[in-house]
Amino acid sequence: MSPPDEPKNTSGTEPASDRTADYTRFDRTSFVFFAAVVLTVVLLVLAWLNVLAASGFDDLGGGLAYLVLATFGNTVLILIVASKR
């Protein structure tokens, strides 16, 4: 009498190597979004400090430039991540 065959994996799970690749992609995506959030927060803080430093709030141009730069940088990073999916 021969031993029974090994049970087959019918749960639909992927091999470990495929799961590792998915986790690597997830970590890279998370890092890029984290970097985008940090960049946005830093630039918004710089913009706020620039506005506070402006005498009588007359010089809003520099603060608005930081806000535009933060929004543009965040949008570019999100588009890069979205294009890799």
- Write out the two tokens for 46: 């710089």
pTM over cut 0.75: no
Which secondary structure element, helix H or strand E, spans residue 45, and what is its range? helix 16-53
Determine the straight-line distance between the first and last CA of the chain, rounded to whole angstroms: 52
Confidence of residue 4 (pLDDT cuts 50, 70, 90): low
The residue with tokens 């984290």 is 34
Q: Give the pLDDT confidence of 12-51 residue by residue, as tens digits.
A: 555 555 555 555 556 677 777 787 778 878 877 777 777 6
DSSP character at residue 81:
H
Between CA 4 and CA 39 the distance in angstroms is: 59
Can you tell me whether residue 9 is helix, strand or coil? Answer: coil
